[in-house]
Every structure is written in C-alpha cells, then in structure tokens.
Chain A
C-alpha cells in the first residue's frame, strides 16, 4: 500500500541554522509528492511539490527533490527564521487511487 514516514519531532533549531526534515514513502505507480506547512491555529498551506522523479520543488527558500531510487523527498532550507516555526507535513498523491496520504507531521521550532 501507500504510506509516508517522516522524521520524529519536534525539531528545535537556532535562527539561521540549516534545516532537514526527512520524508520517505512507499507507493505503487507514479505518485506526486508534496510538502504542506501548518502555522499555529491555521490550515494547511501548500509549500512545494514535485510530480516526477528528479523534479525539485522550491518555495520561500525551501527545497525538496523527488528521489525515486531512495523513495525520499527530504525538505531542506539553508537558513531558518523564527517565522518558519510550524508543523510540516509530507504527503503523496497516489496515481492509482487519487488519494492524498500524509505523514504524521514534524514540528519545527526556531529560536532567536
């Protein structure tokens, strides 16, 4: 079946530190991959996406590359800010079922 596994949180970083949040997936077919971000008290916002192998999604300084050989879609940012504190969800959209499958979410806290 389809599944997404994210690294356990919370992740606590100092401002300007490098961020990596790991995400691996299991899927049949050719899924699309997404990162969503949820700021406190808000809904989910699309952060970036990639629809095929080797695609790189990027937005607001965040990047993730669709790696089919390692079934991964790790989220990275070179220099985090306090305003990046949020919960980050990795998700895959199954090409077979059309269903969006989420990881459990990773909380990021950035301290000044």
Chain B
C-alpha cells in the first residue's frame, strides 16, 4: 500500500468554522490531489499540486484552499465550513514524477458540518 495518511479521520464541526485536513505521504511523489466523494457523484477533484508551492484548481474548488510547503504534506482548508461541504474527503498521490502515473488513495476523512 502507498504510504498515505490523512488526519483527522473523522471530524464534526459547525457552520462558519475553519477546518483544515491534512494529507501526508512517505513516497516522495510529486503530485498530490484532494477529492470529495458524494453519493451519485463518484469522486470529484477539488485541488491538486504538482510540486512544492505549486497548486491548481480542480472541478469543485469553490470554498476550498490548499497549501503545500513540503513534498510530503498537502493541506486542504475550508475557510468557513458550510453544510454543503459535508462529505468524505480523499487525498491521492501519483508519481514519482509523471502526472500520467497511477493515483493511489488515502483512507479518507469523513467531515460533517452541522
């Protein structure tokens, strides 16, 4: 299994509060991704990173920001959480340095916004 961990694994928060999810990899892969999983939608890309300090928006980026200050860590921040952001969030990595390599997924974070 690819060395990917996500924290926290479960979180319950209230509308309007900031939330940060962390993805940590031990594979030294260049590319990292954040997805959300919702019933009937499969997985949808939120943001991705192609290197330290290099990030870009995905399909459903509104309300989310990301940061990558180290190769191994990719943070997803909800500046002001809303109920529509209740979802399961998955981090993925690919590489080591080709964007067209297979993506491997972390265990997920279940976020509930009340």
A interface vs B, CB < 8 Å? 4, 32, 34, 36, 42-46, 49, 89, 91, 93, 95, 98-100, 102-105
Given A32-B100, A99-B45, A100-B45, A44 and B40 touching (CB < 8 A)?
no
Enumerate chain B residues within 8 angstroms of A4, measured Cβ to Cβ.
42
Q: Are A103 and B102 in contact (CB under 8 A)?
A: no
Cβ-closest chain A residue relative to B6: A43
Rounded to whole Å, the gap between the CB of A42 and the closest CB of chain B is 7
Number of A-B residue pairs with CB-CB distance less than 8 Å in the complex they form: 43
Enumerate chain B residues within 8 angstroms of A91, measured Cβ to Cβ.
42
Q: Are A89 and B100 in contact (CB under 8 A)?
A: no
Given A89-B42, A99-B45, A104-B40, A42 and B103 touching (CB < 8 A)?
no
Cβ-closest chain A residue relative to B41: A104
Say which size band chain B's interface belongs to. 10 to 19
Cβ-closest chain B residue relative to A49: B102
Given A44-B90, A89-B42, A105-B42, A98 and B102 touching (CB < 8 A)?
no
Q: Are B100 and A93 in contact (CB under 8 A)?
A: yes
Enumerate chain B residues within 8 angstroms of A89, measured Cβ to Cβ.
42-43
Q: Are A43 and B105 in contact (CB under 8 A)?
A: yes
Enumerate chain B residues within 8 angstroms of A42, measured Cβ to Cβ.
107-108
- Roughly how many angstroms separate A103 CA and B41 CA in the complex, as a whole number? 7
Enumerate chain B residues within 8 angstroms of A43, measured Cβ to Cβ.
90, 105-108
Q: Are B42 and A102 in contact (CB under 8 A)?
A: yes
Enumerate chain A residues within 8 angstroms of B41, measured Cβ to Cβ.
104
Known A-B contacts: A34-B102, A89-B43. Give 6 more (CB < 8 A). Answer: A42-B107, A43-B108, A44-B90, A44-B105, A93-B102, A102-B44
Which residue in B43, B58, B99 is a CB contact (below 8 Å) of A44? B43
- Roughly how many angstroms separate A104 CA and B103 CA in the complex, as a whole number? 17
- For B30-56 the 0/1 string (1 means CB < 8 A from A) is 000100000011111100000000000
- Roughly how many angstroms separate A34 CA and B99 CA in the complex, as a whole number? 15
9 interchain residue pairs of minimum CB distance: A102-B42, A98-B99, A44-B105, A43-B107, A43-B105, A102-B43, A104-B42, A43-B108, A105-B42
Enumerate chain A residues within 8 angstroms of B43, measured Cβ to Cβ.
44, 89, 100, 102
